A and B are shown apart, each in its own frame.
Chain A
Amino acid sequence: MLLIHCPWCGIERPEIEFRCGGEAHIDRPGQPGDLDDRQWADFLYMRSNPKGLLAERWRHVHGCGRFFNAVRHTVSDSFVCVYKTGEPCPDLEALAREGAQ
């Protein structure tokens, strides 16, 4: 069971208090009607699913209730950082280089 730092509560809590919301930074298009079917399918379904660092959404559903984002390594399952919803995605490649050192 993962131990997850909630940036809103400022504490670490067990995974059971959280729901994973899948890949982060897949923003819903402002004008969905402007997208063709392929673009819309990309938004709805296509995921990077990387073996490595992944920015993903979590919600502290049985805590403060807030969504936030986290960067996690999908092989080690260790978290690299967490940040609040709305903040930009960190440079994953730079983080990966740091992690490798």
Chain B
Amino acid sequence: MSDLALYSPAAADGASVLKRSDVSVTRAAPLARLAFRGDATAAGKAGAAFGASLPMTPLAANPVGKRAALWLGPDEWLLLAAPETETQDVPWSLARSLFDEVETALATIPHALVDVSERNVALIVSGPGAARLLNTQVFLDLDESVFPVGQVTRTLFTKAEITLWRTAPDTFVLECWNSFAPYIEGLLATAPEDAT
């Protein structure tokens, strides 16, 4: 499982997408998610308000407890937060309060903040075979020397766009839009055994 406090497996039936001796794929419980856009100044203030600073280094992630700020582009970050007590519901109120806090902190500084909590779902891909399994559909070099723990990027999962974050040597979190999840899960679940 993910070594982060942020992600926990969803409790729902069918949360387990794939379970093999060397790799598992599990749907994660919902999170509060905010898309943040703005320049470095805005990002600095946003990080302070959010509770996890927004990384300025490309492809970097900054997890702090049950929050994380992910660099997605030079003026784009994805802010993630899990409620203190685990829930299977989408934490709208958390998303709302974080939204309000960041908005208040930035007041007159140009920026854009949009709640995208419901847009994405996350899959946790974990185990020694995780990278090999992902490489059946993801054209990135997932060798740890090239794609180290903490790196995050948008990329393609064959015909679907994903955000891929290595949270531990053997663990990746894959975020995608809701309606693409069955496609991605389908391809992961039917990946041949000898690929993992």
Contact = CB atoms under 8 A, between A and B. Distances in A.
A and B touch in the complex (CB under 8 A): yes
Interface stretch (B43-51, B105-113, B151-159, B183-191): B151-159
Interface residues of B, number: 13
A62 B74 contact: no
A64 B155 contact: no
A11 B73 contact: no
B76 A16 contact: no
A64 B139 contact: no
Contact of A64 (B72, B156, B161): B72
Interface string A1-45: 000000011110110110000000000000000000000000000
A64 to B, nearest CB: 4
A63 B72 CA distance: 7
Nearest to B72: A64
A65 B76 contact: yes
B65 interface: no
Contacts of A11: 58-59
Nearest to B73: A64
A62 B163 CA distance: 9
The main secondary structure of chain B at its interface with chain A is: strand
Nearest to B162: A62
Nearest to B160: A62
A17 to B, nearest CB: 6
Contacts of A65: 72-73, 76, 154
A64 B156 CA distance: 12
B38 to A, nearest CB: 14
A9 B72 CA distance: 9
B156 A8 contact: no
A17 B72 contact: no
Contacts of B76: 64-65
A4 to B, nearest CB: 12
A85 B13 CA distance: 47
A66 to B, nearest CB: 6
Contacts of B59: 9-11
Contacts of A14: 139
Interface of A: 8-11, 13-14, 16-17, 62-66
25 contacts: A8-B58, A8-B73, A8-B74, A9-B59, A10-B58, A10-B59, A11-B59, A13-B140, A13-B155, A17-B154, A17-B155, A17-B156, A62-B155, A62-B156, A63-B73, A63-B153, A63-B154, A63-B155, A64-B72, A64-B73, A64-B154, A65-B76, A65-B154, A66-B73, A66-B74
